Amino acid sequence: MNARTLRRLLGGYAVFLFFLCVGVRSWFALSTPSREVVVESWWKDGKRVQRTVHDVADPPKKQAPPDNAVSEEVITGEAPLYASPFLFTLGLVPGRDGVKAEIDGKVAYATVDDIMALQAYDRAHLWVEASFGWGTHRASVLYILSEQLGVRAWEIAERAKLTRIRFERRRSRPPETMPLERGSPRPERITEANLTRELVLDGVREAATHLARSVDDNGRYRYMVNAPTNTAIPGYNWPRHSGTTFFLAQAASVLDDPFVRFASLRAAARLRDDMMRDCGANRCVCEDYPVAEIGSSALALIAFTEVVRTGADGAYRPAVAELAAFLRSQQRPDGEFMHQYDRTTEEPIDIQFLYFSGEATLALARAHRITGDPADLEAARRGLARLSGSGWSFFGSRYYFSEEHWTCQAVAELWDRAPDQEALEFCSRWHEYQRRLQQDADETPFDADGAFGFGPLVSPRVTPASSRGEAAGALLDVLVHERLAGRGARNEELRLVDRELRRALAFVLRSQFSPGPSHLFADPVAVRGAVPGSPVDWQLRIDYAQHAGSMMARWLEVDALAASN
């Protein structure tokens, strides 16, 4: 292909993109309705029981019963919407748009609250796992409309006139029988500007109380819950059990809360007494399978070190030493870890997965504080050098990064005993990279300021903000200590990392159910304090609250350090 042909192709492609963007912009443009219409709904136990549609100036005279919640959603814009599956699933902005259907002289609305109650946003197409998807689930929306119109869903798809409706919730009143709220009232919208220690401490308390309530007498969590119905979703994950137990032990110390502390000890005992098994000459955490993965042992070790460090139960010291010995036996001479162990052949399996090496490195660094064993410190030092050096060295590696939140926490954990300047620089570059992905208020149609994402079409996930916040707190901890020690204050970087963390904190606190849209929940008390997957994904997994709570606890620690000096 000669240069002239290439220029023509590129020029044609540019023209195509221009008209495509113009077309998409006009397609998604909303017209302002001629009158301000309110869709008022009454809710009981998370289910809609009555609906009226009226002008703002002409509210209905009938009042909702005291045991009903009331929500008012105002129509602020409208645009055409086709019923074809592809255009329909991509035609709605999650959490902001609903649908109006007109058929045989009847009108019905699938409002944002209706769609959220059925968890139909970001559910049309699942990606990677069941908890992450995109596009609005068309069948669910058609069901909402058919229920109101008294016709079948296929008739709406074939005969109804559909309109995309932009809604704004003006008012949401909980039932008069709703339990009184805990703690201090939160601002209407939490931002980095009005973030306070009291708000963050309240967030820790809410998350920890929610998780502590979910630990049964056998030390097992309600692993995943659908928030609107408060029903458990099948499945369990022991590494996430361990990580959540770490946070509960951490929160119990921050809050000095016996309820949270006893819950953490029940969950820790389940790991130590029921899940630790022989792995050759050592002990590891795994289910009764032939192959064990080191992630379970690493996160259990992190949890046990926190139980000991905070004084909750010193009897976990032997378990700390046993798990540390297992992780050391899985380390290669170059510092990398072999992530699986075959319990049948009693041989490590030299394979690597995401997160495990960082988790093992942090676990060994924390274990050294408990055991005082130089071998734990040396293994952690070599693991960190591998993670931030030769293990991530290839052409273009300075412009691409993996998930390094465990790595940055290991940097901070080792800084007072085995400082690694190269690892610190690696962590600094990773945060510079992440700040490029941190979203501003005007970049997306969502309330995503402070979140981390890749564009305006995907609902911002909450956990990436939490995990990056954990890592930002770790880097901030090192930078503050270096400044206080007079070793080259990096004031500009400190300011940037502090702002990155504050913005992430504000986003996560805005997302936390405190109490959240309680009128859409069958049991608002049961889900209070939880952290959802995204603003429209209300599957509540224990690690969502764990990462959020650990980020908050780290910020409280670093903020207190900076304030005291």
pLDDT, one tens digit per residue, over 83-119 is 888 888 888 999 999 999 999 999 999 999 999 999 9
- Over residues 383-403, mean pLDDT: 75
Residue 277 placed within a domain? yes
Residue 178 placed within a domain? no
Same domain, 253 and 343: yes
Same domain, 147 and 235: no
Task: Tokens for 68, please give them.
Answer: 């009903």
CA distance 123 to 475: 36
Question: Residue 177: what pLDDT?
Answer: 65
Task: Tokens for 191, please give them.
Answer: 């931002």
Task: Tokens for 418, please give them.
Answer: 């085995």
Question: Residue 535: what pLDDT?
Answer: 93
For residue 9, give every residue at least 6 positions away whose Cβ sits within 8 Å of its Cβ, in sequence order, or none. Answer: none
Which pLDDT band holds residue 15 (cuts at 50, 70, 90)?
A: low
pLDDT greater than 80 at residue 23: no
Return the percentage of the chain with pLDDT > 90, whole number: 75
Query: Of 107, 141, 173, which marks where a domain is finished?
Result: 173
Same domain, 272 and 156: no
Which pLDDT band holds residue 26 (cuts at 50, 70, 90)?
A: very low
Which pLDDT band holds residue 432 (cuts at 50, 70, 90)?
A: very high
Residue 209 placed within a domain? yes
Same domain, 386 and 521: yes
Residue 59 placed within a domain? yes
pLDDT greater than 50 at residue 22: no
Residue 48's identity, in one-letter code, is: R
- Over residues 514-519, mean pLDDT: 92
**Residue 350 · residue 338 · CB < 8 Å:** yes
Residue 183 placed within a domain? no
Phi/psi class of residue 235: alpha, beta or left (left: φ > 0; alpha: ψ in -120 to 50)?
left
Q: Is it true that the peptide bond before 348 is cis, omega within 30 degrees of 0? A: no
CA distance 55 to 287: 60
Task: Tokens for 124, please give them.
Answer: 């049309």
SS3 47: strand
Same domain, 530 and 391: yes
SS3 69: strand
Return the percentage of the chain with pLDDT > 70, whole number: 89
Q: Which domain holds residue 558?
A: 197-564
Question: Residue 441: what pLDDT?
Answer: 84
Query: Of 140, 173, 206, which marks where a domain is finished?
Result: 173
Same domain, 332 and 405: yes
CA distance 489 to 480: 8
**Residue 523 · residue 230 · CB < 8 Å:** yes
Same domain, 159 and 235: no
Q: Say which residue, 30 or 349, is predicted with more confidence.
A: 349
Residue 16 placed within a domain? no
DSSP state of 307: H
Same domain, 203 and 143: no
Question: Residue 335: what pLDDT?
Answer: 97
Same domain, 169 and 218: no
Question: Residue 396: what pLDDT?
Answer: 62
pLDDT greater than 50 at residue 19: no
The CATH number of whichever domain residue 371 belongs to comes to 1.50.10.10
Summarised one tens digit per residue, pLDDT across range 132-172 is 788 899 999 999 999 999 999 999 999 999 999 999 988 77
Summarised one tens digit per residue, pLDDT across range 209-224 is 999 999 999 999 999 9
Residue 207 placed within a domain? yes
Same domain, 109 and 229: no
C-beta atoms surrounding 105 within 10 Å: 5
CA distance 52 to 324: 62
Query: Of 141, 173, 205, which marks where a domain is finished?
Result: 173
Buried b (16+ CB within 10 A) or exposed e, 449-486: bbbbbeeeebbbbbbbbbbbbbbbbbbbbbbbbbbeee
Question: Residue 28: what pLDDT?
Answer: 54
pTM of the model: 0.91
Residue 379 placed within a domain? yes
Same domain, 168 and 288: no
Question: Residue 397: what pLDDT?
Answer: 59
Q: Say which residue, 499 or 173, is predicted with more confidence.
A: 499
Question: Residue 277: what pLDDT?
Answer: 96
Same domain, 144 and 233: no
Question: Residue 198: what pLDDT?
Answer: 96
Which pLDDT band holds residue 281 (cuts at 50, 70, 90)?
A: very high
SS3 477: helix
Q: Mean pLDDT, the chain, as a whole number? A: 90
Domain count, the chain: 2
